[in-house]
Amino acid sequence: MNLQLCDSHCHLQDEAFDKDREAVYQRARAQGIGMVVPGYSMITSERAVALASQFELISALIGVHPHDAKEVDAADLETLREWSSDPKVVGIGEIGLDYHYMNSPMETQRAAFGQQLRLARELGLPVSVHSREAERDTLDLLDEVPGIRGVLHCFTGSWEFAEALLSRGFYISFAGPISFKNAQALREVAARVPTDRLLVETDAPYLSPAPWRGQRNEPLRVIRNAEIIAAQKNCSTKEVFAFTMSNAYTLFSRVSCE
């Protein structure tokens, strides 16, 4: 399969795709789009691993989202460690902090994030990080686990936050919000992120880019996000395909893109 582009974060295991998952996958495959499917709970991590074994162009991440941090116990961490030996598991995610919805208490979120960061470092795997209204604590926790590699997924923060992540060796990934009318500041951040650190994603089924905002999203629409980046970088969409794919597969180095 000649891959053209990578959707570095899409939840194809979500029930939003129960009726037509195979068709959604084939639409992306026809355009040479590889897909990284992160878990967000134990069940959805297990489903991500199952999808990866079923579909050639899917790789899995396993981990528990901050929303469900209160569910994470020692047995879960053991289970994640076991699942990580599957060759199609390429990292730990999505993990992080969400102080906007606060579905789990802050302290619990920080504990679950820290435990999963340490697990990733021990396993030598990169992480996919979710951070909402928690920039300072996200950086502090990353600093507690030096040497960790990863990506800040669906970046919507300030240039200062991007710079702090870049200085820690992180990649920055942009999703549909970069296409929204009121997102000029975010587009300017994207213009400044070096091309060797930039990824694209859909975060499907969420965050469809304009002009499909509000509809169910799918991996095929990662092309739209790449087009917006191309306009910001004054380069061709093809070039964005090439550098974001190469970055995705450098970060998630267990994936083969041959």
Closest CB to Zn ion belongs to which residue?
203
CB-based contact 196:166 (threshold 8 Å): no
- Binding flags for Zn ion, 164-203, as an x/- string (CB under 5 A): ---------------------------------------x
Residue 134, token pair as written in the block: 């928690």
Report, in Å, the least distance between residue 9 CB and Zn ion.
Answer: 6
At closest approach, how far in Å is the CB of 203 from Zn ion?
5
Number of residues that bind Zn ion (CB under 5 A): 1
Binding map of Zn ion across residues 82-111, x = CB under 5 A, - = no contact: ------------------------------
63 dihedral zone (left: phi>0; alpha: psi -120 to 50; beta):
left
| Distance in Å, CB of 37 to Zn ion, minimum | 10
**148 CA to centre of own chain:** 15
Least separation in angstroms between CB 171 and Zn ion: 15
Q: Classify residue 106 by burial, with Cβ atoms within 10 Å: 0-12, 13-18, 19+.
A: middle
Q: At what angle do helices 184-192 and 222-233 cross, to 10 degrees?
A: 70
Query: Using CB under 5 A as the criterion, what x/- string covers residues 200-229 for binding Zn ion?
Result: ---x--------------------------
Phi (first) and psi of residue 93, to 5 degrees:
170, 165
Could you tell me the smallest distance in angstroms from the CB atom of residue 11 to Zn ion?
6
Pull the structure tokens for residue 183. 């997102």
Q: Identify whether 87 is preceded by a cis peptide bond (ω within 30 of 0).
A: no
Binding site residues, Zn ion, CB under 5 A = 203
